[in-house]
Amino acid sequence: MSSNKVPILAPNAYDPFEDEARRLEIPVLPLA
């Protein structure tokens, strides 16, 4: 593992892909 990948795997790190997935998940739950 590269040291550059450590902050990406960290739960407190900002992940644009994860953030986008949460934005898509949040509105889907109440609609379902």
* Total tally of structural domains belonging to the chain: 1
Tell me the C-alpha to C-alpha distance, in Å, between residue 17 and each of 8, 13, 20, 32. 11, 12, 5, 22
Structure tokens at 3: 């040291």
pLDDT at 24: 72
Q: Beta strands of the chain (E only): which ranges?
A: none
Domain that holds residue 13: 1-32
Residues 6+ apart with CB under 8 A from 8: 15
pLDDT at 22: 74
Q: What is the pLDDT of residues 1-32, one digit of tens each?
A: 555 555 555 565 566 777 777 777 766 666 55
Give the other-Cβ count within 10 Å of 15's Cβ. 14
Q: Is 6 helix (H, G, I), strand (E, B) or coil?
A: helix
